[in-house]
Amino acid sequence: MIMDDIAFDQEMDRLCCENLAEEPLAPHTTFKIGGPAHRFVIVKTTSQLAGVLKELERQGIPRIIIGKGSDLLISDRGFSGAAVCLGGEFQEIALRPDQVSVRAGAAAPLASVCAFARDHGLSGLEFAWGIPGSVGGAVYMNAGAYGGEMKDVIVRTEHWDSQGHPGTYGAAELDFSYRHSRYTESGQVIAFGEFRLIPGDPREIGAKMEELMARRKEKQPYDMPSAGSVFKRPKTGYAAALIDQCGLKGRSVGGAQVSEKHAGFIVNTGGATCRDVTELMELVRETVWKQTGVELEPEVRIIGDR
C-alpha cells in the first residue's frame, strides 16, 4: 500500500477534519504503548465519517478506529495507515422519547453513559461502571463484568460501512457472544448504540456502582497502565487463576509485568514496549499450556506494523 499523502490531506482539508501526520499512538491507549500512525484523523460528524471512510476505501488505506484505546496494543513501529478517532457528536449521550432508552455515541466513555443512566434513574448498566472503554469498543467486543454484558442492554446500533453508507442492526442481528459481536468481522464502524434500561432509584443504582467499583479497585491494578484482561476466559477455569497457579504473578519482560495484584492483567511498569508485552504474553501462554494443558487466547487486539 502506497498512500497518496497529498490527495488524502487535501480530502481531509475539504472535509474539515483535523489530520495529524505521524501522531504517536501511545498517548491514545490505556497501555501507553505504541509508535506513530501515518495519519491520525479526528472525525466529529457523520458526514465527515462517511467522507473519510470513502477516501480510505478509494486509496485502499488500512484503518483502525481509536476510542478510549483500552483493549489495544499498538506495535512499536506504529501503524502505516490511518487511525480514525471519533469525537464531536460521537461523544453525545441523550435520553430517548420512551424515557427508558439511552442513545450514546461510539466515542462516549462507558463511564459517562453509566453516570448518565444513574442520574436519570435508569438501571442495567451498573456492571459497566469502571470498564475503561468507549461505547463503540464495548459493543464491538461485547464487554462485560460482574455477570453483565453489552448484549443484555444494547437494543440497536448505527454504523457506517467502508463505502460511507449508514446502516443499523437490532439486538438480534448483532450476533453477540463472549467477547464477540457482528462487528468483530464486518469492517463496519460503530457510530451509535442504544441501551434499553429499567427505571430505578438513583441512590440504589449509585450504591451498586460504587460497590462494584470498590471490588475492582481492590482486585485490579487500577493505578497502572494496562489493556485490561489480556486473555479471554478459557473453556475450563479462569485465565487469571491458571496464570497464578503457574507461578507467573510478577513475572516481567522489560517494562511489562504480569500484575502482582491480578494475574489476568499485564501492566506497563514504565517504558514497556509492544515487544516486551508480546514476549511476556507468549511466555505466559507457553507456561500455562505446558503446566495445565489449557491454551489461552488473547483478548487484547495487537495492531500495527510488526
Confidence of residue 1 (pLDDT cuts 50, 70, 90): low
List the one residue out of 8, 72, 39 whose CA is nearest residue 300. 72
Catalytic residue selected from 55, 158, 194, 299: 299
The per-residue pLDDT for 45 is: 98
pLDDT beyond 80 at 214:
yes
pLDDT beyond 80 at 196:
yes
Q: Which positions ≥6 away from 94 have C-beta within 8 Å?
A: 102, 103, 104
HEC string of 269-284?
CCCCCHHHHHHHHHHH
The per-residue pLDDT for 3 is: 79
Task: Provide the terminal-to-terminal Cα distance of the chain, rounded to the nearest Å.
Answer: 15
Segment 70-125, tens digit of pLDDT: 889 999 999 999 999 999 999 999 999 999 999 999 999 999 999 999 999 999 99
pLDDT beyond 90 at 248:
yes
Segment 292-305, tens digit of pLDDT: 999 999 999 999 87
List the one residue out of 100, 101, 109, 63 whose CA is nearest residue 82. 63
The yes or no reply on domain 91-217 and CATH 3.30.465.10 is yes
The CATH class of 221-303 is: alpha beta
Question: Which residue type sits at 268?
Answer: N
pLDDT beyond 90 at 2:
no
Confidence of residue 264 (pLDDT cuts 50, 70, 90): very high
Catalytic residue selected from 134, 229, 251, 259: 229
Give the number of C-alpha atoms closer than 13 A to the C-alpha of residue 283, restricted to the C-beta side.
Answer: 18
The CATH class of 5-86 is: alpha beta
Mean pLDDT of the chain: 95
Domain map (residue ranges) of the chain: 5-86, 91-217, 221-303
The per-residue pLDDT for 306 is: 64
Segment 50-61, tens digit of pLDDT: 999 999 999 999
Q: What average pLDDT does the segment 206-233 reach?
A: 93
Tell me if residue 216 is catalytic.
Answer: no
Tell me if residue 173 is catalytic.
Answer: no
Q: DSSP code of 183? A: H
List the one residue out of 122, 125, 171 whose CA is nearest residue 148. 125
Q: What average pLDDT does the segment 209-227 reach?
A: 92
Question: Hey, what's the torsion of the CAs at 161, 163, 166, 167, to 10 degrees?
Answer: -50
Q: Is 2 exposed, middle or buried (0-12, 13-18, 19+ CB in 10 A)?
A: exposed
**All 3 cell numbers of residue 209?**
456502582
Catalytic residue selected from 179, 181, 226, 251: 179
If phi > 0 it is left, if psi is from -120 to 50 it is alpha, else beta; for residue 49 that is alpha
Could you give the CA distance from residue 303 to residue 306 in angstroms, rounded to a whole number?
Answer: 9
The per-residue pLDDT for 294 is: 96
CB 152 within 8 A of CB 223: no
Could you give the CA distance from residue 71 to residue 73 in angstroms, rounded to a whole number?
Answer: 7
Tell me if residue 18 is catalytic.
Answer: no
The per-residue pLDDT for 92 is: 98
Task: Note the Cα 289 to chain centre separation in Å.
Answer: 27
Percent of the chain with pLDDT over 90: 90
